[in-house]
Each structure stands twice: as structure tokens, then as C-alpha cells.
Structure 1
Amino acid sequence: GGDIATAVAGALGAEGYRIQSEVAPCIPCGTFVNSEIDDLPVITKAGGFGSDSTLCDALYYIEEMYCGD
């Protein structure tokens, strides 16, 4: 787990990942540190976690961050 997130972070020049909240248990939301997209939320999810609705839940979570209720 984490191979894709690590590859994306490396491609963007990120020096780390700052966790700011959690979409669901074991599914963090944060930002890459010192990358090309510092201001955009990044949600990572291992393949073994989450329900059938986890991807939709993550998208809704980001929408709420930007648009509110």
C-alpha cells in the first residue's frame, strides 16, 4: 500500500504529507508539503480499506471543504 501515493508525491516534488483530517477511519485528508500543489487537498486510501461508497464520500468531503453546506 502507498506505492501510488508515494509515486505521485515524488513526481510533484513533495517532501512530505501533512494530515489535516480524516474522511473515514484510515483514510486521511491532507496536503503535500513543498510540492507543485501545496494548496490542494490530497486523500489517500489503501486498497484494503473503505466501503463501496468511500470514493463518493471522499469527493463529497472535498466538495464540502470548498463549497460548504
Structure 2
Amino acid sequence: MGAITGAVIAVVGVILGWITIEIACKPCLEQGRQAIDRNLNPDYDPDDDNNAVTAPLNPAPAASSTTTAKTVS
């Protein structure tokens, strides 16, 4: 009877540990699971993402608003 009690306590401990990790690391685990689901999806095309960066890679330099005037003497 002692072996069964020990096994039940061990299983309950593992389950409670798993639940604790799931609750504590929920945001990180959700992002990882979404990434895995995307990578395993054969219909996923990263070119179809609406979150793609649309800014130019080499933007034109902004005009300087602080100009110094030279005085001629």
C-alpha cells in the first residue's frame, strides 16, 4: 500500500509542478506555441503577413532644423 501512496503523491507533484510552470510562463509559452504552429502549417506564407515592415530600408536624411548663420565682418 505504501508504494501506491508514494506513486500517487509523485504523480500529483508532477501535475502540480506542470500547472505551476504553465501559469508562471504563460505569455512565453503561448508565443512559442504560436511560432511552432506557424512553422508546422504547410499553408503559412510569411510574405502574406500584414505585420510586415513597410518602412523604407534607407530613408532619406531629415533636413536639419538648426542652421547657423555666419556673420561677415
TM surpasses 0.5: no
Higher relative contact order (CA 8 A, sep 6+): 1
Report which of the two structures shows the higher radius of gyration computed on alpha carbons. 2
Structure with more helix by fraction: 2
Q: Which has the higher strand share?
A: 1
TM-score (normalizing by structure 2): 0.22
Alignment TM-score, normalising by the size of structure 1: 0.23
